[in-house]
Structure 1
Amino acid sequence: MTETEVYMAADDRRQMLLAKLGDASSPLSGGRLAKELGVSRQIIVGDVAVLRASGHDIVSTARGYVLAKASDAAGAATPASGTTRASENEAGGARSVAHDGRPTRVVKVHHSVEQTSDELFTILENGGTVVDVFVWHRVYGRLEARLGIRTRKDALRFINDIESGKSSPLLTVTSGYHYHTIAADSEATLDRIERALDSKGYLAPLLPDERA
Structure 2
Amino acid sequence: MDGEQRRREIMDVLRTTKAPVSGAFLGKKFHVSRQVIVQDIALIRASCPGIISTHRGYIMTQPAYVSRVFKVCHGPGQIEDELNRIVDAGARAVDVFVRHAIYGKIEAELNVFSRRDVRLFVDKVKNHGVKPLTDITGGEHYHTVEADSESILDEVEEALQSAGILIGVE
Taking structure 1 as the reference length, what is the TM-score of the superposition?
Answer: 0.49
- Number of aligned residue pairs: 109
Residue in structure 2 matched with residue 200 of structure 1 by the alignment: 163
SS of aligned partner of 2:164 = coil
2:145 aligned residue: 182
The superposition leaves residues 28-63 of structure 1 with CA deviations (integer Å, 9 ceiling, x where unpaired) of xxxxxxxxxxxxxxxxxxxxxxxxxxxxxxxxxxxx
2:90 is the alignment partner of 1:127? yes
SS of equivalent to 1:171: helix
Cα deviation, 1:102-137, whole Å, max 9, x if unaligned, reads 101000001100000000001111111000000000
Q: What is the match of residue 115 of structure 2?
A: 152
Q: Take 1:154 and 1:113, find their aligned partners in 2: how far apart are those partners?
A: 17
SS of equivalent to 1:183: strand
Compute the RMSD of aligned alpha carbons: 1.7
The match for 2:136 is 173
Correspondence list, 1:52-91, <5 A:
none
Deviations along 1:139-188, one digit per CA (max 9) or x if unpaired, are: 11110001100011111111011111353211000000000000111001
Letter in 2 for 1:202: I
Query: Which aligned segments of 4 or more residues in structure 1 are displaced greater than 6 angstroms?
Result: none
Unaligned runs of 5+ in 2: 1-61
Distance 2:164 2:92 in 1: 20
Q: Share of identical aligned residues, percent?
A: 41
Cα pair 2:88 2:114 within 8 Å, conserved: no
**CA 1:134/1:191 → structure 2, altered by over 3 Å: closer, same or farther?**
same
**CA–CA separation in structure 2 for the residues paired with 1:127 and 1:166:** 30
- Identify if the C-alpha distance between structure 1 residues 205 and 106 changes in structure 2 by more than 3 Å, giving closer, same or farther: closer
Structure 1 spans left out of the alignment, 5+ residues: 1-98
Query: What pairs up with 1:1-20 in 2 under 5 angstroms?
Result: none
Distance of 2:97 and 2:63 partners within structure 1:
20
Amino acid at match of 2:127: S
